[in-house]
Amino acid sequence: MNRTIRTASLAALVLVSGAAAAQDPNFTRNLAATCAPCHGTNGKAIPGAGQVPLAGEAQETIASRLHEFRAGTRPATIMHQIAKGYTDEQIKQLAAWFAAQKK
Amino acid sequence: MLNRRDFIKTLGATAGVATLGGCAGGASKARGHVVVVGGGYGGATAAKYLRLWSNGSVDVTLIERNTEFISCPISNLVISGDKALADITVSYEGLRKWGVRVVHDSVLGIDAEKRTIKLEKGGEINYDRAILSPGVDFLWDQVPALKSADAQAKILHAWKAGPQTVALRKQLEDLKDGGVYALTIPKAPYRCPPGPYERISVIADYFKRHKPKSKVIALDANPEVTSKKGLFTKAWDELYKGIVDYRPNSELRDVDVANRTAILEFDKVKADVLNVVPPQRAGDIVAKSGAKLANGRWAEVDWLSLESVNAKGIHILGDSTLSAPLMPKSGFMANQHGKVAAAAILNLLAGEAPNPEPFMTNTCYSFVDAKNVIHVASVHRYDAEKKTLIVVPGASGVSAQRNEIEAAYAIGWAKNIWADALA
């Protein structure tokens, strides 16, 4: 991705979220890295280890699962607790970021 | 002395490969040399992510005295005989593929002014930023009889995975049916809050299956179980009645090594296998670095960057830190510290401020027997007013009950976090 496009998409993010302009350009990358101990670096979980891979999954699927976990409407052992850590905007950012990773 | 040019020469062969592994973020403006001391959950993760997120533009040296990574998480299953040491051992070769220069050596000292690190065998190394992630060292002064290496070989801690883990397994194998295993637990904070309770649970499970007349005594300096209390006590009541004897407010004062006896304030407890988890503090190199320690034990850091509050250019990770509220000293947390520090260091090396909104997550799985697991989890975000990380309201909790599904997740977690740090 070149700088112009990156800057443009960042500007779009800020517009959509109305968030402070001070958000770190790597905020979403950093937030997504908190998931890696279970879901693998960049969302590439070890096949067969039991955890759901996130890399390259559809953005809508990831987002709706996180919303359902957070609302308590999707069965979970742990994700109903962890999903409560994120705002709507952060769920959107995480879903977009993982969807953009190579499977 | 190893300078940056030598470093790049050494890397020559692997650097090309490493840059291919970068993400879609493009080239990083960050340049410089980061030296990481300690290749555990915190240090190994930081080393890998500095290379990953800089697209190979930042040079990274990892100093680690052991030639292989041996995991503390899951090591209680080696002690119970359910896993082997090989199952929890991971090579450092994966980090070399990322272009990390892995050096097996010991650090004698660090000079924050000159930005140099002195090695036992390898001379001096310059750095632009240093990361210290040495884990914990033990306060042997508080268990005077265990100061000698000879005594420590008899009364084991097994609180750093490796030879001590294997030795404790051997002591339990040699124990006669009807023998007593006693574990002493120090006052919090210590490495891995649920670890001692997991240990007595899986040893009780081993006794139940193989030496049913044997007993487990837990001598806890704390007034109550410090982690997952309800779930652990339920497991002891339901699975190990007559085997586990949990005694709160039982602080160890010293040990009679020859008689394998724990000496408490008003009591003495003799065991056939006595296992002492000693009180702890930040690793020695942190204490030697001049970094400010709270109560002489834990390093105070700026939570935006994990930089020491006073020793500039030195970032401190993992168990060595003075924990933020409700933040456990866990491998998972050290992994998260490593990533926040890596991101902050890359910003700083590019002349930018650290990310003002860091997040961290924690999950600790504990086995209560060979097949059933319980968890505790939390999400933490930076609070600019409090200048620390706080648990996001509502985003924490424990398992509804012990269950087999999470036993599979616990092993899957271990494989994924080892790969996240080391592959």
Do the Cβ atoms of B303 and B356 come closer than 8 Å? no
- Supply the range of the domain harboring residue A88: 26-99
Same domain, B47 and B172: no
Phi first, then psi, for residue B253 (nearest 5°) are -105, -40
Same domain, B158 and B271: yes
Q: Is residue B178 part of a domain?
A: yes
Same domain, B19 and B82: yes
Most A CBs within 10 A among B41, B355, B360, B396, hence the mutation to make, goes to B355
Identify the domain boundary among B355, B372, B390. B355
d(CA A87, CA A26): 17
Strand partners, B378: B362, B396
Same domain, B119 and B241: no
d(CA B277, CA B157): 5
Q: Which residues contact A87 (CB under 8 A, 6 or more apart)?
A: none
Q: Is residue A45 part of a domain?
A: yes
Phi first, then psi, for residue B14 (nearest 5°) are -100, -20
Q: Which residues contact B316 (CB under 8 A, 6 or more apart)?
A: B131, B132, B133, B282, B286, B291, B299, B301, B306, B307, B308
Structure tokens at B354: 């650290």
Q: What is the DSSP letter of B273?
A: E
ipTM score: 0.92
pLDDT-based confidence at residue A98 (cuts at 50, 70, 90): very high
A33 shares contact with chain B (CB less than 8 Å): yes
Distance from CA of A72 to the nearest CA of B (A): 12
Same domain, B115 and B156: no
Cα–Cα distance list, B299 to B186, B306, B307, B323, B388 (Å): 19, 10, 10, 9, 14
**Consecutive 10-residue runs of chain B (423 residues): their mean pLDDT?**
45 39 60 98 98 98 98 98 98 98 98 97 97 98 98 98 98 98 98 98 98 98 98 98 98 98 97 98 97 98 98 98 97 98 98 98 98 98 98 98 98 98 98
* Contact call for A78 and B406, based on CB within 8 A: yes
CA-based nearest residue to B277, from B220, B206, B202:
B220
Distance from CA of A95 to the nearest CA of B (A): 16
Residue A8 has pLDDT above 90, yes or no: no
Same domain, B182 and B295: no
Pairing between β-strand B32-37 and β-strand B58-63 as defined by DSSP bridges: parallel
Same domain, B254 and B216: yes
pLDDT of residue B27: 63
pLDDT-based confidence at residue A21 (cuts at 50, 70, 90): low
A47 shares contact with chain B (CB less than 8 Å): no
A92 shares contact with chain B (CB less than 8 Å): no
Same domain, B32 and B83: yes
Same domain, B217 and B130: no
Q: Is residue B395 part of a domain?
A: no
**Residues B67, B71, B72, B76, CA torsion sign:** negative
Q: Is residue B398 part of a domain?
A: no
Cα–Cα distance list, B127 to A31, B34, B78, B134, B173 (Å): 28, 6, 38, 17, 47
Structure tokens at A97: 């970021």
Q: Is residue B341 part of a domain?
A: yes
- Supply the range of the domain harboring residue B77: 4-137+281-355
Q: Is residue A11 part of a domain?
A: no
Q: Is residue B387 part of a domain?
A: no
**Is residue B223 reached through a cis peptide bond, with omega within 30 degrees of 0 on the bond before it?**
no
* Contact call for A38 and B416, based on CB within 8 A: yes
Identify the domain boundary among B278, B296, B326. B278
Same domain, B70 and B199: no
Q: Phi/psi zone of residue A62: left (φ > 0), alpha (ψ -120 to 50 degrees), beta?
A: alpha
B53 shares contact with chain A (CB less than 8 Å): yes
Q: Is residue A55 part of a domain?
A: yes
Same domain, B147 and B130: no
Q: Please report residues of B whose CB lies closer than 8 A to that of A27.
A: 355, 357
Same domain, B308 and B218: no
Using CB atoms and an 8 Å cut-off, which of residues 342-381 of chain B contact chain A? Answer: 343, 347, 354-361, 363, 375, 377-379, 381
CATH number of the domain residue A47 falls in: 1.10.760.10
Q: Is residue B61 part of a domain?
A: yes
pLDDT of residue A22: 80
Strand partners, B37: B63, B132
Q: What is the mean pLDDT of residues A21-43?
A: 95
| Residue whose token pair is 């975000």 | B381
pLDDT of residue B28: 81
Q: Is residue A15 part of a domain?
A: no
d(CA B124, CA B133): 19
Q: Is residue B305 part of a domain?
A: yes
d(CA B257, CA B151): 7
CATH number of the domain residue B21 falls in: 3.50.50.60
Q: Is residue B376 part of a domain?
A: no
Nearest Cβ partner for B343 among A1, A30, A83: A30
Residue A50 has pLDDT above 90, yes or no: no
CB-based burial label for B33 (10 Å; 0-12, 13-18, 19+): buried
Q: Which residues contact A101 (CB under 8 A, 6 or more apart)?
A: A42, A43, A44, A54, A55, A56, B23
| Residue whose token pair is 């309800």 | B230
CA dihedral B54, A52, A54, B418 (to 10 degrees): 0
Q: What is the DSSP letter of A46?
A: P
Distance from CA of B374 to the nearest CA of A (A): 10
d(CA A66, CA A60): 10
Task: Report the number of distinct structural domains present in chain A.
Answer: 1
Task: Report the number of distinct structural domains present in chain B.
Answer: 2
Name the average pLDDT for chain A. 86
Q: Please report residues of A whose CB lies closer than 8 A to that of B404.
A: none
Identify the domain boundary among B261, B278, B295. B278
